[in-house]
Amino acid sequence: MFTAKAAVRQSLLDARRSLPPGKGLLDSALATGEVQRARRIALYVSRGREPQTGSLIDWLLARDRDVLLPILYADNDLGWGLAPGAADLVPGRLGLSEPRVDLGSDAIATVDLVICPALAVDRTGVRLGRGGGSYDRALGRVAPGVPVWAAVYDTEILDHLPSDPHDQPVHAALTPTGLVRLT
């Protein structure tokens, strides 16, 4: 399965590189009841051509919501820290921007909603990430019943993706144009 995933991953990365700079997720997210109700959300700081999360993070912080951002550990697991202002993030591994204070890997179990990065999802909830397994481990710690969404572009919602037994499913795809619920 690794070969199939690697080939799909490379194709998706190539296609994403041809896109214009990433569009934001704020309007789509605010159109959902889950974001309006959530008091604590796990998110990530987008980079490059990823759908942009900056304005959504700012909106949540301005409304006194807790935003947990990932901290990438040396073993590729994820810890979580509370989002400060964007200027207060520090450089992390692999060029990521991270909070200064680590609340630990189990902090994700305290959120009301997870919005995670992905290269693509399929209509059954299979999420394809960058291949390190970081989010699969983290999503395994999310409390039962908490919605998990993957942030992608509309063209990255596919009929089928290769998967492995350790892959954690997502419930929806959040795109710049809306939320697509997955089965």
Residue with tokens 């604590």: 40
pLDDT at residue 22, rounded to an integer: 66
pLDDT at residue 2, rounded to an integer: 46
CATH number, domain 2-181: 3.40.50.10420
Give CA–CA dist 133/122, Å, rounded. 18
Residue 53 — φ and ψ, nearest 5°?
Answer: -110, -10
Say what percent of the chain tops pLDDT 90: 72
The answer to whether 135 is annotated as binding is yes
Q: Give residue-wise pLDDT tens across range 37-89.
A: 999 999 999 988 899 999 999 999 999 999 999 999 999 999 999 998 555 78
The answer to whether 79 is annotated as binding is no
The answer to whether 92 is annotated as binding is no
Residue 4 — pLDDT band, cuts 50, 70, 90?
A: confident
The answer to whether 7 is annotated as binding is yes
Domain boundaries, the chain: 2-181
Give the pTM. Answer: 0.90
